[in-house]
Structure 1
Amino acid sequence: METAEIRRRWLSYFGSHGHTIVPSAPLVHDDPNLLFVNAGMVPFKPYFLGQETPQFTRATSVQKCVRTLDIEEVGKTTRHGTFFQMNGNFSFGDYFKEGAIQLAWELITRSQSEGGLGFDEKDLYASVYHEDDEAIALWKKVAGLSDDRIVRLGRKDNYWNMGVAGPGGPCSEILLDRGPQYGADGDWEAGDRYLEFWNLVFMQYELENVRSKEDFDIVGDLPKRNIDTGMGLERVAFLLQGVDNIYETDEVFPVIAAAEDLTGRRYGAAHEDDVRFRVVADHVRSSLMLIGDGVTPGNEGRGYVLRRLLRRAVRSMRLLGVDAPTLEQLLPVSMERMKASYPELETDFSRISQVAYAEEEAFRRTLSSGTTILDTAVARAKSSGSSTLGGAEAFALHDTYGFPIDLTLEMAAEQGLQVDEPGFRRLMGEQRDRAKADARSKKSAHGDTSVYRQLSDTLGHDVEFTGYDQTLTDTRIRGLIRDGVVVDRVGPGDEVEIVLDRTPLYAESGGQQADHGRIRLANGALLEVTDVQRPITGLVVHRATVLEGEAGVGADAEAEVDVARRRSISRAHTATHMVHQALRDELGDTATQAGSENSPGRLRFDFKSLQAVPAAAMHEIEGRINAVLLDDLPVTADIMAIDAAKKLGAMALFGEKYGERVRVVSIGEWSRELCVGTHTPRVGQIGVVKLLGESSIGSGVRRVEALVGADAYTHLAREATIVSQLTDTLGVRRDELPDRIAAILGRLRDAEKEIAAVRQSQVLGAATGLVQSARDIGGVTFVSHDAGDGVTGDDLRKLVTDVRGRLGNDRPVLVSMASVANGRPVVIVATNERAREAGLKAGAFVKLAAQALGGGGGGKDDLAQGGGTDPARVSAALGAVEDHLRNRGA
């Protein structure tokens, strides 16, 4: 049974049993604790934590997941993988243990001809939490399992919690006995004989003081008991397909087969090659899914994970013997296998492949530059007499340049060096520990929301936003927070967080900055609002300072928006929509939004693009935007079903969370986007939009910045003043200004070239005298020269090589010269072929000279350069070279 069919059967089965089928959330989710969705229950976490109320009591999904903690272990075993799919069914206060066990047992034991999965009952076992007698009784009642097919396990294996305070409970796993060839009878810890493929979590207790997976306090029952189950789709697939592991399933193995064709090697022939094949298959599929959900390669966070995956795949193909680009052959294979479940991959494959192929090419360049850096490190180690490349150098190559450690090990060995691998692993461990500590610190964010949940429960409904139609609203104070604690009253000077019954002030979201404003009470109290946020869904919190009087919970109030600021931000937000549409018109539909910020008078818009936008295209985009401003199109907002919005062509963004009904903002018939922000009634009120330019902010992501309205006018007026000053100074008309400046710059460049040529001629003119000054030291023709101040390294190098050439190759020649350029000393040493045959290497001499200068250097045996920080030591540096030459035979 193919994986896509298992997925279809799962959703069909639970859908027919009253479960709402919830589409998979994107891998990039709005959870501050997670880089990616890493479990099937993550999109439902707000319901389990009580932060949101679900619209259904039963749900099912097949959730895309990525786990990144064990990337370096992928392929070494058949257990580790990064991307996987988790089948889940969920109950929110509906059915509990008996219902969950009944549903699970029916699906897995029903014959395949009747729509089930067809597992043989005699091969199935259940594990339970050792104190959960209720679950044991139910397994006997529902499934007819005997005592010898039910195993009791402790908290480590059969108790679930989130790792933080909140809901938890015992769980029960369904196991398949794969037979004695996979392990001994009753060996539950082996993991291969009795394979767990479905975990049923009975979420029924409130937990506090969660110190570890096994160490926590149970403080009471949850108000509603919930069910959270997870069945690994890939694991069930390999069990039903009769293969040994996830890498041999129908969605993964085709990539291995394609890699076999490219490399000429065979999977199963050698363990080292098998590891590489598995890395390729896993990482290609994971990269496909991540890019499909909007992730682009970068140096931080999610982008860095994607970059590592792609580069490990490319590197593994290199180790399998293929130096040429390979993703063009592998990525389409993965897409063809995954599109049955995720048809959007095929639709969006042009963009996905562009991102992947560009990263492969960038890594190939990294391999080239990294090789040069590695060669320098190896030469430095050898010159110091060491047979080992330091762990710090290996770590720098890996961490800074993206150079894999296995490549460092391989190439160092080729040059006869070992690598301080323990030192490298130690530094990697320290980095990993820092990352884990950071992740642990972020987990506290759940605890920080408790005070907001308390207020939200008291309020009893979402805070109503009136700001689309009003800038002044009568309201009531429903909650006050000071220093993280709920209070009843606040006084002058207090910094507070205020929850109102309803508010016209916009809370920061969707890239739009928060409104500022004031809250007035009938008793004369006045509070200045400087920020508005949504710490949890449905709750709006105003951060304010009490300027006058006292404010208390329950008091009637009047909330007012800073209208000038609001209008300025709204103009910027509408202009952002216009920039987005104009970019898509000019560059194509792949120029999708990757982020934005709308602030008073200016905007920042990030978008997906693998190449810089030409200046001519930017000019066209700016012209198109301002032409639409002249048309004064209306800006309207309509609430509609999300399917209707999609049919209208409204743009939605990667990673955004949308409900069944959405707000669609339209600019005439020209632009439509899903948006909750505030906008101008007509685009003509924006006035003017001035694009300041575009730049790269990461691999595959560009940024446009622009000024709007009065800020744009002020900028243009300032530029006009500068142009007027230049025309007056140069005595030309405005239209002649570019040509005149170009001519001046051209003459300046010509003058600089002439000066450089004269200086070089003067330097090289000294060559004849230097040849005549050559001395014999131990059978070596030796020239030493201090060129003084103002001679650049390039000019000095030409002089050194010219002198060496004039001295010929009849006998050994060594030339040593130094100069000071821009306050920093430089030293260059050159040798001819006869000198190198005699064992005289320029790099060794330069190293001594550079040490005297307080610096370092290196290069090839025939020509090497060094530098330092102490210009007063030039004579000492040249003397060190001469002394070493004199003493070489001593």
Structure 2
Amino acid sequence: MQTAEIHRRWLDFFERRGHTVVPSASLVSDDPSLMFTVAGMVPFVPYLSGLVPAPYPRATSVQKCIRTNDIEEVGKTPRHGTFFQMCGNFSFGDYFKEEAIRFAWELLTTSEDEGGLGFSPDDLWVTVYEDDDEAIELWKQHSTLPEERIQRLGMDTNYWSTGQPGPAGPCSEIFFDRGPEYGVDGGPATDDDRYVEIWNLVFMQYQITDVKSKTDFTIVGELPNKNIDTGMGLERVAFIKQGVDNMYEIDQVRPVLDRAAELAGKTYGADHEDDVRLRVIADHVRSGLMLIADGVTPSNEGRGYILRRLLRRVIRSMRLLGVDGPSFAELFPVSRDAMQAAYPEVARDFDFISRTAYAEERAFLRTLASGSQTLDTAIEAAKAAETTVSGDTAFLLHDTYGFPIELTLEIAEEAGVPVDRDVFASLMQEQRDRAKADAKAKKGQRADLSVYKELRGLGETAFVGYDEFDHESRVLGIVVDGAPVQAAQEGQVAELVLAETSLWAESGGQDADQGVIVGDGFEAEVLDVQKPVPGLIVHTVRVTVGTVALDARAETRVDRDYRRGAAQAHSGTHVVHAALREVLGPNAHQAGSYNKAGYLRLDFTHGDALSSETKSEIEEISNLAIRSDYEVVTREMALDEAKALGAMALFGEKYGDRVRVVDIGGPWSRELCAGTHVASSSEIGMISLISESSVGSTNRRVESLVGIEAFRNFAAERAIVQQLTSGLKVPRTELVTKVQDLGAQLRAAEKKIAALEAEKLSQRAPELLAAAQEIGGVRAVLGSLGTVGSADDLRGLALRLRDRLSAEAGVVVLAGEVPADGGGKPVVIAATTEAARDRGVRAGDLAKLGAQVLGGGGGGKPDLAQGGGADASKIDDALAEIRRSLAG
């Protein structure tokens, strides 16, 4: 049975039993505490916890998930995967244990011909929480399981909670017995790989508090609405139904594995280490495909870093299999073909997905080349000193170059040099500890969302700001320092929840409105407007006059100038996006935006920097659209209808069943957008592109000033031009030529001055040679030359002096002060003859020693090296230390 067919049967089964089919949410989680959607129940947490009223009594989904906390186990076990799909059925105070158990047994054991999954009851085991007698009786009643295949287990395995105060309850897990050839008898209690957990039924029935650990908490009572949250692992059921040994061999994954094996000239099943690498490749390619499809792009932080790590592990694994060149163009199309039956968007958006993945591969292959040079140098030094490649170097390669430790070990082993893994492991652990501490600190800074649960239960906050600047409402809730209060006094910062508001809450790339909230006897300045939970708008205010109390009349007043500027910027973002696509083609998708009054920032998918001509063309098209006075039309409609009209849905954005479509100039710009906009494009005023830059290997960013800010920017530039034309006494049309001529004259003068300074410096060679001394068996020229033109001048003089000493054991060490920002910077140059090196004198050691005294660092080759520092007053001390070293 194909994976997509299991997917379809699951949804059909529960839809026929009154469940609302909910499409998979994005892999990018709405929950600020989660980087990704890590479980099927994540999108339903607000409903299960009661934070937000559920829009349906029962639901079902097949949810895309990503987990990377045990990434090192991928490929080694039959069940660890980074991307997986969780089939779930949920009840929000509707049905409970009996129906959940009955549904599970019915779907699993109904024959395939009748629409079920066709499991034999003889292959199934069940575990329940040890005190849950009710669940045991229900299993006996609704299944044919003998009592010995219903096992009681403890709280550590069969009790669910979030680890924090809130809902909790026992759970019941269903296992498939793979047979005696896979392990020992005895059921899931043996914790053996023979028994594969395929379904977990969570009975969310208690409220807990005083949580000290997973098994240490206080049950304070039953929940008023008992919920059901279940999850069946789609990949696990698929590998059982397809008769293969693990999830990497199912129809959605195995084709990538086979293609990787073909490229590497390997046979899957012939070698354990190669098999693990092939499974890693198959898993991570699929994960990368699905993450990019949901709008994640490679970067050095957050979700982008996780994606980058997955893709680089693929490249590393291919390299360890003997494939050094690019392979993504062979692997990603195979994964697309395997996944598109369940997720058509991977085929629809494959151009974007592939360009993103291929660019990352090219970039990392270049990184590997750079890291290899560093590693080669470290290996050469380790060989010479008969020691190891230091753990510091291995960590530098890993942390700075993204060079996997396995690759470092492989290359070093080929050269016959060990790597100090203990130091590397210690440094890695320090990094993990810092990351955990940072994550814990950030988690502690997040507000406890439970404070909004009761407020959200009063209904959604209605936003009326599309049509009204000022709107009278009433105060439904007040929160101060994370706790609900009856009133907020003058001078306090508080959060206000109103029944309706005309103030825009930050979302969709648009910054929050500015304004005030006033009522009988009070006035409050609006500091921020946010949506901490779906459907609830919270105004952070500073009470400037009087006291604001619960149920008070409150009027929201939007700062009209700010809103006008924000609307100009948001409509301007759409205009620039359309202009980008007109110039660069339809593959230039928006990948993120931010706009506020007078300013817009737009990230878009494109690999190359924009030329000056291209930027000017985009800016001109944008301003021509403004001059054309296009009508801006907003409409609400069903999501499918909007897509049929060609409205652009942006990567990473989440949309409900009803969406708002914004047209500028009809189909010229047609996007899904909930933000505030101008009525016609001419109201935008003006767009002035001020920068274009890279934000990743596949993304670019343009920034622009909008409206009056754009005019002010042009006015400022005009003033600069006027000052230059006046000062240089040339007309504006000749200004560029004049500045270029002056620049050329300046460079010629600087070159001439540098030549004179170098010549002047070289004239000191005779006196330096005359002052040479015998120190420690070598003839040493040590000199402090004061201020010099450049380090290159100093190096040139050192080389000339060394040439004069080439017939003997000679050492030259020169120090001086070169020009630098904020003053002079000390530099030390060391050079040695071959005879001096034979006596063990190395320039790199001398430069490093001198640089340490100067408060810096240095080094280089044995024959020539350079060092620098921060304190030029210690040049004489540095030369004295080098003298002592030579004497010793």
TM-score by length of 2: 0.93
* More divergent stretch after superposition (630-639 vs 425-434): 425-434
Residue type matched to 2:614 in 1? A
Residue type matched to 1:294 in 2? G
Residue type matched to 2:469 in 1? T
* More divergent stretch after superposition (231-240 vs 754-763): 754-763
Alignment check: 8 A CA contact 2:788 2:794 kept: no
**Residue 525 and residue 803 in structure 1: after superposition, are their counterparts in 2 closer, same or farther (change >3 A)?**
closer
Residue type matched to 1:757 in 2? A
Instruction: Kindly report which structure 2 residues correspond to 1:320-331, keeping only aligned pairs within 5 A, or say none.
Output: 320-331=321-332
**Residue 796 and residue 55 in structure 1: after superposition, are their counterparts in 2 closer, same or farther (change >3 A)?**
same
Question: Percent identity over the alignment?
Answer: 56
Alignment check: 8 A CA contact 1:165 1:447 kept: no
Partner of 2:539: 542
Q: Deviation per CA, 1:241-296, whole angstroms, max 9, x where unpaired?
A: 22221222222232222222222333333333333222222222211211111111
Instruction: Kindly report which structure 2 residues correspond to 1:427-506, keeping only aligned pairs within 5 A, or say none.
Output: 427-440=427-440, 448-457=448-457, 460-506=458-504
Query: CA–CA distance in 2 between the matches of 1:622 and 1:62?
Result: 44
Alignment check: 8 A CA contact 1:32 1:442 kept: no
Residue type matched to 2:105 in 1? W
Query: CA–CA distance in 1 between the matches of 2:787 and 2:446?
Result: 63
Residue type matched to 1:397 in 2? L
Offset at 1:708?
A: 1.6
Instruction: Kindly report which structure 2 residues correspond to 1:272-671, keeping only aligned pairs within 5 A, or say none.
Output: 272-374=273-375, 387-413=387-413, 418-440=418-440, 448-457=448-457, 460-521=458-519, 523-669=520-666, 670-671=668-669
SS in 2 for 1:498: strand
Offset at 1:174?
A: 1.1
**Residue 115 and residue 456 in structure 1: after superposition, are their counterparts in 2 closer, same or farther (change >3 A)?**
closer
Partner of 2:138: 138
Offset at 1:743?
A: 1.6
Alignment check: 8 A CA contact 2:166 2:208 kept: yes
* More divergent stretch after superposition (854-863 vs 566-575): 854-863
Alignment check: 8 A CA contact 1:171 1:202 kept: yes
**Residue 817 and residue 411 in structure 1: after superposition, are their counterparts in 2 closer, same or farther (change >3 A)?**
farther
Instruction: Kindly report which structure 2 residues correspond to 1:738-757, keeping only aligned pairs within 5 A, or say none.
Output: 738-757=736-755
SS in 1 for 2:474: strand
Residue type matched to 1:615 in 2? S
**Residue 827 and residue 183 in structure 1: after superposition, are their counterparts in 2 closer, same or farther (change >3 A)?**
same
Query: CA–CA distance in 2 between the matches of 1:688 and 1:541?
Result: 33
Partner of 2:194: 193
Residue type matched to 2:682 in 1? G
Asked if 1:18 is matched to 2:18, the reply is: yes
Partner of 1:89: 89
* More divergent stretch after superposition (483-492 vs 235-244): 483-492
Asked if 1:718 is matched to 2:716, the reply is: yes
Residue type matched to 2:526 in 1? V
Instruction: Kindly report which structure 2 residues correspond to 1:40-59, keeping only aligned pairs within 5 A, or say none.
Output: 40-59=40-59
Offset at 1:381?
A: 7.1
Query: CA–CA distance in 2 between the matches of 1:285 and 1:764?
Result: 64
Query: CA–CA distance in 1 between the matches of 2:296 and 2:479?
Result: 37
**Residue 500 and residue 783 in structure 1: after superposition, are their counterparts in 2 closer, same or farther (change >3 A)?**
closer
SS in 2 for 1:135: helix
Asked if 1:819 is matched to 2:812, the reply is: no
Offset at 1:750?
A: 2.1
Query: CA–CA distance in 1 between the matches of 2:487 and 2:826?
Result: 69
Alignment check: 8 A CA contact 1:791 1:819 kept: no
Query: CA–CA distance in 2 between the matches of 1:688 and 1:447?
Result: 40
Partner of 1:163: 163
Alignment check: 8 A CA contact 2:184 2:192 kept: no
Partner of 2:255: 254
Residue ranges of structure 1 left out of the alignment (5+ in a row): none
Residue type matched to 2:592 in 1? G
Alignment check: 8 A CA contact 2:447 2:482 kept: no
**Residue 475 and residue 780 in structure 1: after superposition, are their counterparts in 2 closer, same or farther (change >3 A)?**
closer
**Residue 812 and residue 271 in structure 1: after superposition, are their counterparts in 2 closer, same or farther (change >3 A)?**
farther
SS in 1 for 2:185: coil
Partner of 1:9: 9
Offset at 1:413?
A: 4.8
Offset at 1:727?
A: 1.1
**Residue 559 and residue 879 in structure 1: after superposition, are their counterparts in 2 closer, same or farther (change >3 A)?**
closer
Query: CA–CA distance in 1 between the matches of 2:67 and 2:590?
Result: 26
Offset at 1:661?
A: 0.9
Partner of 2:80: 80
* More divergent stretch after superposition (371-380 vs 772-781): 772-781
Residue type matched to 2:174 in 1? I
Query: CA–CA distance in 1 between the matches of 2:485 and 2:98?
Result: 44
Offset at 1:881?
A: 5.1
Partner of 1:269: 270
Alignment check: 8 A CA contact 1:101 1:142 kept: yes
Alignment check: 8 A CA contact 2:570 2:675 kept: yes
**Residue 672 and residue 840 in structure 1: after superposition, are their counterparts in 2 closer, same or farther (change >3 A)?**
same
SS in 2 for 1:534: strand
Alignment check: 8 A CA contact 1:463 1:501 kept: yes
Offset at 1:539?
A: 2.3
Alignment check: 8 A CA contact 1:640 1:662 kept: yes
* More divergent stretch after superposition (753-762 vs 373-382): 373-382
Alignment check: 8 A CA contact 1:29 1:655 kept: no
Q: Deviation per CA, 1:183-214, whole angstroms, max 9, x where unpaired?
A: 22115233312211111112222222333322
Partner of 2:734: 736
Partner of 1:27: 27
Alignment check: 8 A CA contact 1:584 1:591 kept: yes
* More divergent stretch after superposition (205-214 vs 286-295): 205-214
Alignment check: 8 A CA contact 1:38 1:66 kept: yes
SS in 1 for 2:695: strand
Alignment check: 8 A CA contact 1:297 1:699 kept: yes
Partner of 1:679: 677
Alignment check: 8 A CA contact 2:757 2:788 kept: no
Query: CA–CA distance in 2 between the matches of 1:572 and 1:421?
Result: 53
Alignment check: 8 A CA contact 1:633 1:684 kept: yes
SS in 2 for 1:506: coil
SS in 2 for 1:540: strand
SS in 1 for 2:257: helix
Partner of 1:223: 224
Offset at 1:134?
A: 1.6
Query: CA–CA distance in 2 between the matches of 1:820 and 1:505?
Result: 60
Alignment check: 8 A CA contact 1:387 1:416 kept: no
Alignment check: 8 A CA contact 2:112 2:118 kept: yes
Residue type matched to 1:593 in 2? Q
SS in 2 for 1:23: coil
Offset at 1:627?
A: 0.8
Offset at 1:700?
A: 2.9
Partner of 1:107: 107
TM-score by length of 1: 0.93
SS in 2 for 1:196: strand
Q: Deviation per CA, 1:596-654, whole angstroms, max 9, x where unpaired?
A: 22222222222233222222111111111111111111222111111111111112223
Alignment check: 8 A CA contact 1:850 1:866 kept: yes
Residue type matched to 1:168 in 2? A
Offset at 1:872?
A: 4.7
Query: CA–CA distance in 1 between the matches of 2:844 and 2:634?
Result: 71
Offset at 1:78?
A: 3.9
Q: Deviation per CA, 1:111-161, whole angstroms, max 9, x where unpaired?
A: 333333222221111111111112111211211111111111111111112
Offset at 1:664?
A: 1.3
Query: CA–CA distance in 2 between the matches of 1:275 and 1:340?
Result: 27
Instruction: Kindly report which structure 2 residues correspond to 1:771-850, keeping only aligned pairs within 5 A, or say none.
Output: 783-805=781-803, 814-822=811-819, 823-833=824-834, 836=837, 839-850=840-851
Offset at 1:777?
A: 7.4
Offset at 1:438?
A: 4.3
